[in-house]
Structure 1
Amino acid sequence: MSNELYAEEEFNALLHEKDVLDGVFECLRRIWGHTDALSDRHLAESEYQTRLLEYELLKLYPDLYDELIDAMGDHPVTSIDSGCGVIMDALSVREGFRLEQELQSEHDWDISFTWAPIEGLPSETQFICREWFGAQSPSAVSRDDFRFIGDRDVPQLPSTDPAFVWTRHPDQRLEGALKGNYSMEEVEEIYQGVKGLLEDVVQESVHSEFLVTSDHGYVNHLGNSPYSLSDEEESSLSGKFSSRFREIGNGQAYRVLENANVIKRVDGHYVVRGHHKWTKRGATKKIMHGGLSLSECMTPVLRIDTTGGN
């Protein structure tokens, strides 16, 4: 049944890890731990394996999303008391696995990599930035210990302890490059840009310890999918949702989608579960966030100590 989604090691992690989501993380490592998983030749298959993993796990473990929601809050970036917290908008565990490998091999740094759930739903920057820094967007945060980076140029960074840096990448490139016309090569280019930006932040900072993470991940609808919708569900989604979340509403369309487990009510919003996608007129975005899925709601937590080799 595993469809090569996990071998004995990952299966044992699913069975015996204290938190089943830690076992899920090891399954994701099996998919995205390959150095070429983001490449144009393998990206579509990597994404399909990710969707299939989530689809199959939910059948085996129906409480998967409830456990993920219960784990949300108290993200580790909010509790650092020294060093620098680097929040890279929409950086996902996909890129995290590769960053772990490449930064470890290319720099004399100590690197560790794990994951943490997002702060809360919907998995959108505006909600998480409000929770963490009391502002509607990272560009609106005005604090001496905080710096927003909107492009590839790194400004003077805070020397406070702790300090926080929020970069608009990779989400700026994902949103700008992947609306409608989609090129798989662009994902590799975006990754290289993000890696270079992170290296610049580390080099320009006065700190030697960094916690690198994100506000949320994303779903990528590239290629085939095991998820499907009936005509009624497709019509309901396309009629009521322009993104992967929306405020609570009333009507038959919502009841249809809730009964089919396509959407889930979380506080004042409906969020789309899993990797369901639907078509609307005009360009259809392949990369989206705001909903409830493993790839959106499990954020990377990369810890870097630049004095590790000394």
Structure 2
Amino acid sequence: MFSHDLKANFSVNLGFSYSSLPSDTINFKSMLNINLSKKKVGVINDFDLTPIKGNEEIFLSRFPDSYLESIQEGKTRIQTIPEVYNKTFKLLEDLLEKIEFEDITIISDHGYVILEPEFIIPVEPSMQKLIARIMGGGRFKKASEVNADKFVKEGYLIKANDNYIAKSRYTWPISGKFKVFQHGGISLLECITPVLTIKK
């Protein structure tokens, strides 16, 4: 959608890349192998872009992640996905106006799976409590901390980079609060990420 909506004012090309495994931010930064201490970096934690000068080489943003990861409390949806998109797009437009460079590349560290009934593949009922006991509510777990080989054999997890990682859109119920939008697993939605190249 960014690609389509930005074309009104910019030359935009849409490509794709891949997340790290597990598909999370910390592992992604390691995969990039960029020494941020030697770059001019702008950090965007809110919608106040006043601290941004426009000559930074790299921008790090928590949007739309911070919205998606808190989009729902219990069974109450706090805001809709279109609302999240519109707010994030407005932030991006404002940022592009401030950036001095003509050629800009936008990448993402990971995608998400939506843990709602119509989007998931449930683990077999007989396995649900067992896998939840080991994996908790997350999509990956350090192999040095647990032994989940049983669930690798069953086809629910893979073992890679010293982690047990949830395959596809497999999920299991847990007690208490959980995030509707999650990442860290190995599915197309989590691991194939968009790349936008923009020319101002």
TM-score (norm 2): 0.88
Provide the C-alpha distance between the structure 2 equivalents of 1:204 and 1:123, rounded to a whole number of angstroms: 30
The residue aligned with 1:101 is 4
Provide the C-alpha distance between the structure 2 equivalents of 1:178 and 1:143, rounded to a whole number of angstroms: 38
Q: 1:256 aligns with which of 143, 150, 156?
A: 150
Query: 1:192-213: CA deviations, max 9, x gaps?
Result: 1111111111101111111111
Q: Which structure is higher in RCO with an 8 Å CA cutoff and minimum separation 6?
A: 2
Q: What are the within-5 Å matches in structure 2 for residues 91-130 of structure 1?
A: 98-104=1-7, 106-107=8-9, 109-118=10-19, 120-130=20-30
Provide the C-alpha distance between the structure 2 equivalents of 1:298 and 1:238, rounded to a whole number of angstroms: 26
Q: 1:159 aligns with which of 55, 60, 76?
A: 55
Provide the C-alpha distance between the structure 2 equivalents of 1:180 and 1:169, rounded to a whole number of angstroms: 22
| The 10-residue stretch of structure 1 (219-228 or 291-300) with the greater mean CA deviation from structure 2 | 219-228
Relative to structure 1, the CA distance from residue 241 to residue 157 in structure 2 (aligned partners, 3 Å threshold; closer, same or farther) is: farther
Q: 2:134 aligns with which of 221, 240, 249?
A: 240
Relative to structure 1, the CA distance from residue 143 to residue 111 in structure 2 (aligned partners, 3 Å threshold; closer, same or farther) is: same
Matched residue type, 1:180? G
Relative to structure 1, the CA distance from residue 193 to residue 230 in structure 2 (aligned partners, 3 Å threshold; closer, same or farther) is: same
Provide the C-alpha distance between the structure 1 equivalents of 2:163 and 2:193, rounded to a whole number of angstroms: 21
Q: Secondary structure at the match of 1:176?
A: coil
The residue aligned with 1:132 is 32
| The 10-residue stretch of structure 1 (206-215 or 121-130) with the greater mean CA deviation from structure 2 | 121-130
1:186 aligns with 2:95: no
Q: Secondary structure at the match of 1:296?
A: helix
Bigger share in helix:
1
TM-score (norm 1): 0.59
Matched residue type, 2:40? D
The residue aligned with 1:265 is 159
Q: Secondary structure at the match of 2:6?
A: helix
8 A contact 2:114–2:180 mirrored in 1: yes
Relative to structure 1, the CA distance from residue 110 to residue 134 in structure 2 (aligned partners, 3 Å threshold; closer, same or farther) is: closer
Provide the C-alpha distance between the structure 2 equivalents of 1:240 and 1:200, rounded to a whole number of angstroms: 44
Q: Secondary structure at the match of 1:173?
A: helix
Provide the C-alpha distance between the structure 1 equivalents of 2:26 and 2:111, rounded to a whole number of angstroms: 14
Matched residue type, 1:267? N
Q: Secondary structure at the match of 2:186?
A: coil
Q: What are the within-5 Å matches in structure 2 for residues 1-310 of structure 1?
A: 98-104=1-7, 106-107=8-9, 109-118=10-19, 120-132=20-32, 142-154=37-49, 155-157=51-53, 159=55, 163-183=57-77, 185-225=79-119, 227-242=121-136, 243-248=138-143, 249=145, 251=147, 254-306=148-200
Relative to structure 1, the CA distance from residue 226 to residue 186 in structure 2 (aligned partners, 3 Å threshold; closer, same or farther) is: closer
Q: Percent identity among equivalent residues?
A: 23
Provide the C-alpha distance between the structure 2 equivalents of 1:244 and 1:222, rounded to a whole number of angstroms: 15
Q: Secondary structure at the match of 1:151?
A: coil
Provide the C-alpha distance between the structure 2 equivalents of 1:113 and 1:134, rounded to a whole number of angstroms: 23
Provide the C-alpha distance between the structure 1 equivalents of 2:123 and 2:109, rounded to a whole number of angstroms: 29
RMSD: 2.1
- Please list every run of 5 or more consecutive structure 2 residues that lacks an aligned counterpart in the other structure: none
How far did residue 133 of structure 1 move? 5.7
Relative to structure 1, the CA distance from residue 158 to residue 293 in structure 2 (aligned partners, 3 Å threshold; closer, same or farther) is: same
Provide the C-alpha distance between the structure 2 equivalents of 1:143 and 1:218, rounded to a whole number of angstroms: 30
8 A contact 2:120–2:170 mirrored in 1: no
8 A contact 1:122–1:291 mirrored in 2: yes
- Please list every run of 5 or more consecutive structure 1 residues that lacks an aligned counterpart in the other structure: 1-97, 136-140
How far did residue 177 of structure 1 move? 2.5
